[in-house]
């Protein structure tokens, strides 16, 4: 049992947003374990939509095809290892610009966030759109070159043959697309705590995130 599981009040939602390879996924998983909460990696939803569109031989920029895939998406499809590839990340960011795709994925995410006891969700728009009332909000970031190096190391470990230069270009392109789109652009919520992990090990980042959330949880317990 986790440190907090026994007296976990209902509805404690933790929103973890940030750009690609900032460390937010690992941080969200760590927070889920520490606070005894289920975790949803919402990037997987967009990755899955992109993957399904490509698998059907359709165009990622075609909003109707991507929306149809988003409507039909089921939770059991999210475990597919093909969603972790570099190509799936790029496809995800292309389908994520379509407002109707985002709308189709909204309810699944909100239902996850609303479950009894609470939840941790990581993504780009959790603190701004999916769970604006979340009790704890983090915006995890790191310098682009640090994130590129992390993602390159991760992709190599997965067996992908790719250069650091190509991964750095991916990261820059994704940052620009995710931050520049009209629909739910990646931006820190006004009440999010910024956590720059550039100079941190993953253990240090997870520890810093836990302390930020502990403080938010203390405030939330008093107010609820
Ligand atoms: O987090 P991850 O890198 O897996 O996300 C893949 C892509 O999915 C992002 O680059 C972004 O375009 C999109 N995404 C999003 N909103 C979220 C999560 C992911 O637009 N909440």
CATH of the domain at 81: 3.40.50.300
The C-alpha atoms of residue 117 and residue 12 are separated, in whole angstroms, by 6
Q: Which two tokens stand for residue 104?
A: 């189709």
178 lines ligand 1 (CB under 6 A): yes
- Which residues is 88 bridged to in the sheet? none
Residue 102 lies in a domain: yes
Residue 50 lies in a domain: yes
CA–centroid distance, residue 6 to ligand 1 (Å): 33
Looking at the structure of the chain, the number of domains it has is 1
> Do the beta carbons of residue 157 and residue 81 sit within 8 Å?
no
**Residue that the structure tokens 């990755």 belong to:** 47
Residue 1 lies in a domain: no
26 lines ligand 1 (CB under 6 A): no
- Mutate which of 20, 25, 28, 46 for ligand 1? The one with the most ligand atoms within 8 Å of its CB, which is 46
Count other C-beta atoms under 10 Å from residue 63's C-beta: 15
Atom of ligand 1 nearest to the CA of 177: 12
**Residue that the structure tokens 């929103």 belong to:** 15
Residue 4 lies in a domain: no
Residue 7 lies in a domain: no
Mean pLDDT by 10 residues, the chain (224 residues): 42 96 95 98 98 97 98 95 94 97 97 95 97 97 96 93 96 94 94 97 95 96 84
Question: In sequence order, which residues have a C-beta less than 8 Å from that of residue 104 and are 6 or more positions away?
Answer: 67, 70, 71, 73
The C-alpha atoms of residue 60 and residue 101 are separated, in whole angstroms, by 11
123 lines ligand 1 (CB under 6 A): yes
pLDDT of residue 153: 95
Alpha carbon distances (Å) from 68 to 17, 52, 56, 90? 26, 10, 11, 19
Residue 69 lies in a domain: yes
Alpha carbon distances (Å) from 49 to 18, 63, 74, 168? 20, 11, 10, 24
The C-alpha atoms of residue 101 and residue 12 are separated, in whole angstroms, by 27
Residue 154 lies in a domain: yes
Q: Cβ-count burial of 91 within 10 angstroms (0-12 exposed, 13-18 middle, 19+ buried)? A: buried
Domain extent at residue 118: 12-219
174 lines ligand 1 (CB under 6 A): yes
Q: Name the packing angle between helices 63-72 and 86-95 (round to 10°).
A: 110
146 lines ligand 1 (CB under 6 A): no
Q: Whole-model pTM above 0.85?
A: yes
118 lines ligand 1 (CB under 6 A): no
Residue 5 lies in a domain: no
How does DSSP classify residue 97? T
pLDDT of residue 10: 60
Closest Cα partner for 151 from 79, 90, 78? 90
pLDDT of residue 224: 78
pLDDT of residue 150: 94
Going 205 to 36 to 153 to 46, the CA torsion angle's sign is negative
Residue nearest ligand 1's atom 21 by CA: 123
């Amino acid at each position: 049992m986790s440190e907090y599981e026994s007296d976990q009040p209902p509805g404690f939602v933790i929103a973890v947003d940030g750009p690609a390879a900032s460390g937010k996924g690992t941080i969200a998983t760590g927070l889920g374990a520490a606070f005894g909460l289920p975790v949803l990696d919402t990037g997987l939803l967009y990755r899955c939509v992109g993957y399904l569109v490509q698998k059907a031989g359709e165009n990622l920029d075609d909003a109707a095809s991507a929306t149809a895939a988003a409507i039909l998406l089921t939770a059991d499809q999210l475990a597919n290892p093909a969603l972790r590839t570099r190509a799936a990340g790029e496809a995800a960011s292309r389908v994520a610009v379509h407002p109707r795709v985002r709308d189709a994925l909204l309810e699944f995410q909100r239902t996850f966030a609303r479950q009894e006891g609470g939840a941790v969700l990581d993504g780009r728009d959790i603190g701004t759109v999916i769970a604006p009332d979340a009790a704890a909000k983090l915006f995890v970031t790191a310098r682009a070159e640090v994130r590129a190096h992390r993602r390159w190391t991760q992709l190599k470990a997965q067996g992908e043959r790719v250069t650091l230069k190509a991964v750095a270009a991916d990261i820059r392109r994704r940052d620009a697309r995710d931050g520049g789109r009209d629909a739910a652009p990646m931006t820190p919520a006004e009440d999010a705590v910024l956590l720059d992990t550039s100079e941190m090990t993953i253990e240090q980042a997870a520890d810093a995130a836990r302390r930020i959330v502990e403080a938010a949880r203390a405030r939330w317990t008093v107010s609820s």
